[in-house]
Amino acid sequence: MLPRTPLLFIGWSLCLVACSLMAPKFERPTLSVTGIELVNGNLLQQHFRVKFNIQNPNDRALPVSGLHAALSVAGENIAQGQNERAFVVPAKGDVEFDMMITANMALALLKLGHVMDNRADTIAYDLSGAASVDLPFLHDLPFHQTGSFFTQGNAITL
């Protein structure tokens, strides 16, 4: 008779190997901004509808329960928002959805004015956040997009 401890060790090892072979292959979906629309606002606070697209390259549907995002310009956080509406991205498909983001453009203009006074050629922006996903092996799908606005004289372009 073999001692009980080695048998348990061998049994658990076989279970772990079997589970790892059966785990589904999962490719990370891509999330991108497809549009921004000013809904309303005043000097201190503006509300934008930001349209996103999630592409799911996997062969299983992706249930999303919410999303949060923040936008920084020239290192200063100027906008944030969240969406708690659930939706499903179909297998091998994509979905467009929107969320409201609240911004402080007065702060952004002050920051951008300072950068433009220094004759900078570009102004860096950073969009980051995460989509909450209802899958046992993936709870948050983070995203991070960076880029620059280009300045020429007093104009700012993407």
- The rounded distance, in Å, linking the Cα atoms of 132 and 63 is 9
Q: Is it the case that residue 155 has pLDDT exceeding 50?
A: no
Q: What's the pLDDT at 97? A: 87
pLDDT at position 75: 77
Extract the tokens encoding 8.
């348990």
Q: Coil, strand, or helix at residue 92? A: coil
Tell me the Cα Rg of the chain: 23
pLDDT tens-digit map of 76-122 = 788 899 988 899 999 999 999 888 989 887 777 776 666 656 666 77
Q: Which is more confident, 11 or 91?
A: 91
Q: Which residue has the tokens 């991108």?
A: 32
Handedness of CA 142, 145, 146, 152 (dihedral sign): negative
What's the distance, CA 146 to chain centroid?
12
Please tell me the distance from the alpha carbon of residue 25 to that of residue 60, in angstroms, as a whole number: 10
Q: Are strands 94-103 and 76-83 parallel, antiparallel or unpaired?
A: antiparallel
DSSP annotation of 75 reads T
What's the predicted TM-score (pTM) here? 0.63
Number of Cβ atoms within 10 Å of the Cβ of 138: 14
Q: Are 127 and 71 in contact (CB under 8 A)?
A: yes
Q: What is the pLDDT of residue 158?
A: 45
